[in-house]
Homo-oligomer: A and B are copies of this chain.
């Protein structure tokens, strides 16, 4: 079952995202409609929620991290739009709807992705809560580092270049660490920074992020192999079609699930020092293992 904190935070993030985007009616309308279409198209808001939870876990005021949570979700959304483009994964379906370029055309989809990446940094720089400039500036740097070629974009490239050939476990882990893990870890680090955490607390949350990030990706691979496409909201079997090496195809579903369990266990252990304060993050870790979409 979804942790109640996740449901609550998801609703708040949904609401604030609309505020932080340029209005749909603003000229030129096409791009603003395309941005809203993808950003407001549902999703679990895992990254935004992790940011808010991390802030609260370290004793911070989670409301002060909402701008950052929205920036993280904009970044995630930009990466999905660009990923789905014909020159990349060429996907038609995302979150149960046609992908952005299938609705708005490739040019607008490309620019909508660019615009969301830009908007994320814009709100980090210009819409932080009063008195939080220093922390938000530091957080913006964390965000950029997580999604550059040493992080998310680098993972994309490695992923593209790995298609159609067999990968070692180390290679696969490196792809996941960058492609999915870096932004998830950044979400936690950013929440912690905004919450005024110590270096030790940030380190512990990073370790938790590494574990859930990898587990998240393994489960993603398993869902691509086994899930109901209606529940999942995107086409399944695409990894097999592209001869993409994944945890599920290398280890087989059962052993892959075991590895995910192990990562979740390690992730939870990393939070020991927070005691009771970490209960939401512990619950979230379990949820990620059980999710069906």
A residues engaging B (CB < 8 A)?
Answer: 22, 26-28, 30-32, 35, 82, 85, 87-88, 105-108, 110-111, 113-115, 117-119, 121-122, 125-126, 133-134, 137-138, 140-141, 144-145, 147-150, 153-154, 156-158, 160-161
Known contacts: A30-B161, A121-B121, A137-B133. The answer to whether A144 contacts B156 by CB under 8 A is no
Known contacts: A28-B158, A110-B85, A110-B87. The answer to whether A148 contacts B125 by CB under 8 A is no
Distance, CA A126 to CA B35, complexed state (A): 28
CB distance from A204 to the nearest CB of B (A): 23
Copies in the complex: 2
**B161 and A114 contact, CB distance less than 8 A:** no
**7 A-B contacts (beta carbon < 8 Å):** A27-B154, A82-B110, A88-B107, A114-B117, A119-B144, A126-B141, A126-B144
**Which of B30, B110, B121, B149 is A32 in contact with, Cβ under 8 Å?**
B149
Known contacts: A148-B115, A158-B28. The answer to whether A141 contacts B122 by CB under 8 A is yes
Contacts of A149 in B (CB 8 A): 22, 26, 28, 31-32, 35, 115, 119
Most B-side CB within 10 Å, residue of A108, A114, A140, A156: A114
Classify the secondary structure of A's interface with B.
helix
The closest CB in chain B to the CB of A114 belongs to B153
CB distance from A14 to the nearest CB of B (A): 21
Distance, CA A108 to CA B28, complexed state (A): 28
Contacts of A141 in B (CB 8 A): 122, 125-126
The closest CB in chain B to the CB of A21 belongs to B149
CB distance from A216 to the nearest CB of B (A): 22
Ranked nearest first, the 5 interchain pairs of A and B with the lowest CB-CB distance are: A122-B144, A125-B141, A87-B106, A28-B157, A126-B141
**Which of B117, B137, B158, B160 is A125 in contact with, Cβ under 8 Å?**
B137
Distance, CA A99 to CA B85, complexed state (A): 19
Contacts of A153 in B (CB 8 A): 31, 111, 114-115, 118
